[in-house]
Amino acid sequence: MRTIRAEFDRRSITVYQAFRPEIGVPAVEHGRFVPPFSRDRMTWIKPSFLWLMARSNWARKPGQEMVLAVRITRTGWEEALAEAVPTDPDPRLFASGEEWRAAFAKSRVHVQWDPERSLRGRKLEERSIQLGLSRHIIDRYVDDWTLGIEDRTPAVRKIHRLLQEGKTVQARRLLPGERPYPLPAPLAARLAT
């Protein structure tokens, strides 16, 4: 089952990224991405906190030591979703492999559905979304959509420590309040949710 679960309000949605401190610290200080963040390569954004925890090993993987919560406009998020082409051909969306390849080659946004993760990192049946923003749309993300950037690394370390101590209930209380994101019908159809 594909579901977008996220922390969001009327105007914004929070997505997560993990970086090395050389990129993360200036981003937090400026409230937006600044060099050495690169606008010349694809960047992946994920609304699932626990998916990123599994991917970054609770901010312990080299190059992913800093977890950022990036608050972006819902308008920008939905603009990206409207352009997204899956990283694999989906027969519900494309009549042939050639049709998918043509769409993927022109795509400025890639979408991938990965197994959602439990608090302890176990793969779940539910699928979680991540979007790859290419260099052809990254300026919109950085300059127009981003409302603020927060360092969530201290919370990540605290939750991980509580898990290691066997304090699962306390760890769970510190998780972001993610809930199903209401997709407009055309986007739900485009994403085959």
59-109 pLDDT, tens digit each: 999 999 999 999 999 999 999 999 999 999 989 999 999 999 999 999 999
pLDDT of amino acid 76: 98
Full-model pTM:
0.95
**Angle, vertex CA 156, rays to CA 32 and CA 3, nearest 5:** 80
Task: Give the model's confidence band at 192: pLDDT under 50 very low, under 70 low, under 90 confident, else very high.
Answer: confident
When pLDDT is averaged across residues 133-139 and rounded to a whole number, the result is 97
pLDDT of amino acid 28: 98
**Angle, vertex CA 175, rays to CA 162 and CA 138, nearest 5:** 125
d(CA 73, CA 18): 20
Residue 193 has pLDDT above 90, yes or no: no
